[in-house]
A = this chain, B = another copy of it.
């Protein structure tokens, strides 16, 4: 950090304080939604002064977007190196168990509901989340799908943006339905989604 940056944004950041603040912000967002969460409440729950938050985040939406990003960072995603070195089938097998655990967790369901729920009333939150988190992952998914097109398991004329929406959309839609799946059922579900998309052909075809 340069001195000018240091002056502009207050004292240098304390990573532990940031972690505490972001965890408190995520809790409140899941409990109350974006309408029911304020910078003041996050400061109170994190046990810090509200000026600390105002110095670090320019808006509630920016704070919540970063809180969501920190939570989903634990998600298992293939690296760009994997995507270009492995077959789509191998990548799917590698990520399936952890992806199923995450997608079946109550915390994931609650967070998806709140993010989708705020998309129209607070578009800035979705915009930040989309740019920082979703778009890079869509790039990797598109690379997998182009590889599968070369292998002939995805149609050469498939619209990849639409196909990515069908995969991601199915999971977000499924976890918000009544009677959501447990991790075992979610593993079967994700395998069926990837198979339907053409990313997870039966082993004999691979």
**Residues of A with Cβ closer than 8 Å to B?**
32-33, 35-36, 106, 109-110, 112-114, 116-121, 123, 126-127, 130, 155, 158-159, 162-163, 165-174, 176-178, 189, 192-193, 196-197
Contacts and interface: CB of A to CB of B under 8 A. Distances in A.
A159 B189 CA distance: 9
Nearest to A121: B113
Nearest to A174: B165
A33 B119 CA distance: 12
Contact of A196 (B112, B121, B159, B176): B159
Contacts of A110: 120-121
Contacts of A193: 162, 165-166
Q: How many copies of the shown chain assemble into the complex?
A: 2
Contact of A126 (B33, B169, B177): B177
Given A113-B118, A117-B33, A167-B166, A192 B127 contact: no
Contacts of A192: 159, 162
A189 B117 CA distance: 22
A33 B168 CA distance: 24
The 5 closest A-B pairs by CB, nearest first: A117-B117, A169-B169, A169-B173, A119-B176, A116-B116
A61 to B, nearest CB: 13
A171 B110 CA distance: 20
Contacts of A33: 33, 35, 117, 121
11 contacts: A33-B121, A35-B35, A35-B36, A116-B172, A119-B177, A120-B176, A130-B177, A166-B197, A168-B169, A172-B172, A173-B173
Contacts of A167: 166
Nearest to A117: B117
